[in-house]
Each structure stands twice: as structure tokens, then as C-alpha cells.
Amino acid sequence: MLGLLARLVLLAGCIVTACCEATSNPLPPVGHFYVENGGGEKCILLDISATFHVEYLRTDNTTDTVSYPLPNNSYVSGICAHGFHEQTAVMNISFSNIAPSMGHFGMNLTFSRNFPLMTHFWLSQITIYYQLIPSLFPNVLYANRTLLSVVSGIQAIKTTSSVITPQSYLCKRDQELVLSHANDVDGPLRTNITVHNIQAQPFEVDDQGTFSLPQECSQDYDPTTDPPPPTTTPFHAVTPSLVFPVGYFSLNNSKGQVCLLAKMGVLFRVSYRAGNGKNRNATYVLPANSSVGGSCEDDQATLSLMFTNAFNLSLSFYSDGKRFILNSLVVGYQRNARFFPGAQDPNTSDIQVENDLSLFDTEVGKSYRCSSQRNFTVGHSVVLEIIEMQVQPFGVEDGQFSDAVKCPQDLLTTIYPLLNATTTLPTKVTNTLAPATTVQTTDVTDTIAPATTILTSAPPHTTPPYTPTTPPVPSKPSKPHQGHYVVKNSTGQICLMANMGVQFIAEYVKQDGKVGEGVFNVPETVTVSGECQHNVSSLTLEFHMYNATFYVTFTFVQSNSGIRRGRYRLASAELSYTELPVIFPQTIAPNQQRRVENMTLNVFSTDVRKSYKCFADVNVTVTKEVTMLVRQVQLQPFHVDKSGKFFTAEDCEQSSYFLLIVILASTLPATLLIIAIISCFCWRRRRRHKVITGKEALVKNLID
């Protein structure tokens, strides 16, 4: 307790205006924290070293900032996730109980995973609470008041992990987490957390209570150099784990009434050329406090979000009075040194546009909602990753979202099996964090690991190196066989029909650094799901290969406006697969789960009064790494009548060529036979003519 008191008093003098030198303040030690379930088994693991930076009001109405570390012998409590139906796990780290006279301090972390697929986990909410004690906050205006700072709706430390192949998250580089302003009397105050070192596993902890194989953040590798060569532990190229804030935006019309509402978190990935000639990616997020602009009209609405001077995102919507669609995306950016380090053409601006879209088709008077992550390609260099989206560009009433129409991805019902599942009583917390001015010490009924049992002197958890095995190289599968798939509506009537064979070709990185191709077919027998709406239909095919679950979702859109009026098309394809060594030999990421999608497809376009038919093989690009081969296709995603039969087919151009070749091939023998007969007949006739002519000449000579 005296050590903590001395450290806090020392840190009280380290204020931003006269901060202690970094060299005199070594990084705080790593704390090894865990939560146990009712059976005494560890269910949440967290190793972390962190520093808090808190802004506060002084008695002279100025602001200052103090910093203090997270003690490595703090008390821990929490709630574990029990069973696949529970999507969150919570850990509360409190260090007020160690030295009550030093005030009330702590941190509450909420981890989430995507349900029902459970392929990823992430840190979705952070709450820190602190007491403005004068010994730590000099000349504080509201002495001894307890405040909260929160950031929610984020996707920090996002990690690929499942029941079958659990992983932990590991990062040894500093990461800054910015929390929302604390509520004070006279104005907002900000709070930041610098995480110096972290390893986390909030789900699927093994029976030994140790971390699973880590997925390491890309910040741990020098971004200007190539990844290290494979060793006994293969290098995993992963997406940087950024704080993913969700912003709430509204637009008013000329009367001051709210006419457009939007909620979303956006991550930008922009490709650019570096000075050394190599292609690199810039990554940044849409701030939740972006400036809002745009316009609202009867049939057009535009939302423009601007931030960091030259950066912006614009969404344009169109309505025919009955339904609305997103028909345009525009992204503007400047290649500055902050987001585009080492750019070949620094400080130049660019605008990428994607027009003629027909996304988010929704009835006017309702909102469109999609909690799942969606990827959108804009122009030739920008990819948007959007989460927790809800938009309503028309028919807003009382400044609130109307009833929401969910995207097909939110309606998936795929469930991964639980391995060795047991029933465990859930852990309960009797009190949650109270409002900002009335935070009380949390009493916990769950097992609390006392300071003496948190292994403060134990070395960090390590994971044995992964040594890949080399399975026999599988033979490339033959072309896919045609499957017959139908989707039924709520009344049991068929509303979508699809006959087709589907094959995927996915590139991957091998252990020798070369690029390989994994090929797999969609079986004829699969689990089919989907939905049928007025202008949007979806088909999801789920299948299993070598104990891994794969699924592909096709989304079809019917257009009621523009040049595509009266036609439908395949508008998006989403694939989830696992890099199984038997399909992806010598992969550097064995059993890694992958998810790819293309939201801007325009293939299989057909008149709404017909079905689409194509005998030929059609290659569809999903991403740069994944291609889809579709063959022997006949589709009808809309207006299926009660007979459940396809409408008259509109054949693709490839089918016409294919039929021509088939006709020629099938009639060629008969044609050759006819030609031979005619030739023979002509030859015999010509020969006979020559014989007769010769006889006539001989007779004439005899007469003469």
C-alpha cells in the first residue's frame, strides 16, 4: 500500500504542462489478471501494462492532465460467457480496494464476439472510473468527485478466434485508446489510455488456464519492411487493431427538422504508391465527431462527413417515393504524412467515386440496419469497412430512427458446434457501475482473485511454437456439379430458385513465401437459408469440409429506377472459409478462418419477367485473392409463382456460343456424310460424262 501511495504521489506531479521525462518513468509492469467461473476454472485471461491520462478542471478554471499506471496487483472480478448463446465477457479491474484512502479507481472491459458465427472477438467497450483526490489532482475544482469515462461501440483488438481454433490477441507496441468525455459541471474532459503491452483471451480458455496461440498485431512488425521469413512459428499477417468508433450523425432541412439519420463506424483502407515504388495501404477511421453536411430533397438525399481538413465521405440516396437505395459513394483524401507515410506524391488530394449502386433497398418510412461488418469498394483504391450501420435518408419522424429492415448478413442462422461443452452456472455481479457522481465500490459474488494469487512475479505466459506438418498435396477438384437450391418465405412458398455449380479459387501464402491456390467446390447437398424481400433476396449455402464450416451468401437486387429498371442482378457475394492444410497445402496460417465479400457485383443481369440461364463457365472476381467459378446456372430470385417452376429463360451470351458449338459438334458427322455423298455423286456423274464423251469421239472417228 505504501508503494502504491508513493507512486501515486510521485505521479501527481507529472502533469502535461510539466511532464516527467520519459526516461525517468519506466513503463508500468505487466499485470497478469484472470476471472474464474463458478467451477474455479479460468475463463478470461488478460496480461496488460497500461497508463491512464485524465484531464481535469482546476480551481482557476483551467485544465490539466495527470497520468497514473494500472497497478499489476489490482483486484479482478467479472462475468464469463457460458455457452455459444452468450456474446459478451466482462472483466473489472479495481485498485481502489488496495488503498481505500487513495480514492476509487478502476477499469471495466467488455469483450464481444459475433453471434452466431463466433469467428472473431474484440474489445467493444471500455469504462474507466476515477476519483478526483487532491493528492493526485493538484488544485482540482471538484475535489473527491468520482467520474466515469466511456467508449463503446468499438472493435479494438479484433481477433480471429472460434470454438474450434481459439486464439488470443497479442500486441507489444503502444496503442492509444481515446475515451469519450467525462461528464463534469462546466465542460467536457477527455481521458486516454495508453496500452503498452497486452495479451487477451476473453473466450474459449483451455482447461490449463493458459493463452491459446496468439494472433499478433501488425504494429509489432516494422510496416516499412517485409514480414520476417517463416520460422518454427509462422508469421501471421493480420489487420491492424484500431479503435473503431461508431458515430451518430443527423442532417436538418431548411425548416430545422431532422431529415436524415445515420449511425456507423467506418474504417478506410486506401492503397497508394510509396517512394520506393512499392504499393502500401493507408488505414484510418471515421471520427465519431466528424462535421456533417449534405442536403435533403424529395427524391435525393446526400450525407457528407468531413474530418481532418481534406478527408471526407459522402453517401447519396435515391427514392422513388416508395423505396430508397444507396446509389453513390464518394471518398476524398489527402496523402499526408500522418496516414500516407513515404507517399510517392505527398500532400496531393484524390477523390474516388462509386456510382450506379443499388444498395440498402428499403421501404420509405423505415430505416436500414446492418450490424455485421460490410466491405465496399470505392473507385480503384479505397475499401470501406463499415460496422453497426443504420441509415434513414427519408421519412424521418421526431428525429428518431423508424423500424429497421435488417440486412441478410444479420439474419444468418449458422451455429458452430460446441466441443466438450458442459453446463456451468453463470457468474453474476450484484452491482454495476453507478452514474458518474455516485460510483460505489462494486460488490461481486463471483470468485475474486486476491492480490496474492494474481502471480505478480510470474513471467508472462508463453505459447509453445507451432510446428506445421506437411500433409499430402491434394488433387485439384474437378468442376463443380450442379446443385438445386430453393428458399421459401414465411408461408412456405418457394420465393427463390437457383440451379448451379460453384467453385472457389483462393490464393494464399505458403511457408516458403510463395503464393498458392486453394480450390474447393460447393457440394450439391448443403444447408440452405435465405430471405425474400420486395427488391432484395438472399441465398446462403452452408456446408462442412473436414470438420470446418464454410458458407457463401449471394444477394440479388431488383432495380426499379435508372438504366437497370425492370431488371435484377447478383449484387454481392460473401464467402467464409477456413485455410485447411488439406485444401491449402503448406499455408502459413493453418486453420485460419477467412471472410471475403464483394458488395458491388453486377453479374447475371436479367429481365424480372424471366429467369437467368447460362450453360457456360462464368468466372466472377470476389476479391483480388478469391475467384468464383459458376457453371450450369439457372436463377430466379424474384416473382416465383405457385408452380415453383422457372420462368422463360434469358440466356447469357456465353450460352449462345456454347449452344452454337454444341450444335456444330452434334451435326458435324451428318454434315460430313452429306458432303461426302454429294461429292461422290458429283464425281461419278463427272466420270460418266467423260466416258460418254470418249465413246462419242471414238464412234465419230470410225465413221470418218
Prior bond of 71 cis (ω within 30°): no
State CA 643 to chain mean position distance. Answer: 39
For residues 356 and 442, state if they share a domain: no
The predicted pLDDT at position 103 comes to 64
For residues 437 and 551, state if they share a domain: no
191 vs 89, higher pLDDT: 89
Task: Tell whether the model's pLDDT for residue 39 goes beyond 80.
Answer: yes
Q: How confident is the model at residue 127 (pLDDT cuts 50, 70, 90)?
A: confident
**In the chain, how many domains are there?**
3
Strand ranges, E, within 373-488: 374-378, 382-392, 404-406, 483-488
For residue 460, being part of any structural domain is answered with no
Q: How confident is the model at residue 1 (pLDDT cuts 50, 70, 90)?
A: very low
For residues 95 and 154, state if they share a domain: yes
Q: How confident is the model at residue 562 (pLDDT cuts 50, 70, 90)?
A: low
For residue 280, being part of any structural domain is answered with yes
> Hey, what's the torsion of the CAs at 377, 383, 388, 392, to 10 degrees?
-50
For residues 355 and 438, state if they share a domain: no
Q: How confident is the model at residue 460 (pLDDT cuts 50, 70, 90)?
A: very low
For residue 15, being part of any structural domain is answered with yes
For residues 203 and 332, state if they share a domain: no
For residues 293 and 380, state if they share a domain: yes
312 vs 38, higher pLDDT: 312
pLDDT in tens, 360-416: 989 999 999 998 888 888 988 899 989 889 999 999 998 999 999 988 777 653 333
The predicted pLDDT at position 487 comes to 93
Closest by Cα among 229, 233, 203 to 216: 233
Query: What residues does 521 pair with on adjacent strands?
Result: 503
pLDDT in tens, 569-599: 998 898 989 888 889 998 877 887 788 888 8
Round to whole Å and give the CA distance between 251 and 295: 8
For residues 212 and 264, state if they share a domain: no
For residues 213 and 254, state if they share a domain: no
Round to whole Å and give the CA distance between 421 and 84: 9
For residue 691, being part of any structural domain is answered with no
The predicted pLDDT at position 690 comes to 53
Task: Tell whether the model's pLDDT for residue 241 goes beyond 70.
Answer: no
Tell me the residue length of the chain: 704
For residues 372 and 521, state if they share a domain: no
For residues 37 and 162, state if they share a domain: yes
Q: Which helix (H) or strand (E) holds 674?
A: helix 653-703
For residue 457, being part of any structural domain is answered with no
**Average per-residue pLDDT for the chain:** 76
pLDDT in tens, 653-684: 755 444 444 444 445 556 566 776 776 666 66
pLDDT in tens, 478-509: 889 999 999 998 888 999 999 999 999 999 88
- Which range is least confidently modeled, 27-41, 149-163, 528-542? 149-163
Percent of the chain with pLDDT over 90: 26
For residue 674, being part of any structural domain is answered with no
In terms of residue numbers, what domain contains 575?
Answer: 483-657
Task: Tell whether the model's pLDDT for residue 477 goes beyond 50.
Answer: yes
pLDDT in tens, 178-191: 765 554 444 456 78
For residues 646 and 563, state if they share a domain: yes
For residues 432 and 400, state if they share a domain: no
For residue 686, being part of any structural domain is answered with no
Task: Tell whether the model's pLDDT for residue 225 goes beyond 80.
Answer: no
Count of C-beta atoms within a 10 Å radius of residue 129: 24
The predicted pLDDT at position 24 comes to 38
Round to whole Å and give the CA distance between 369 and 546: 35
Give the CATH number of the domain where residue 532 resides: 2.40.160.110
pLDDT in tens, 276-299: 888 888 888 898 888 898 999 989
For residue 682, being part of any structural domain is answered with no
- Which range is least confidently modeled, 238-252, 295-309, 630-644, 690-704? 690-704
The predicted pLDDT at position 689 comes to 55
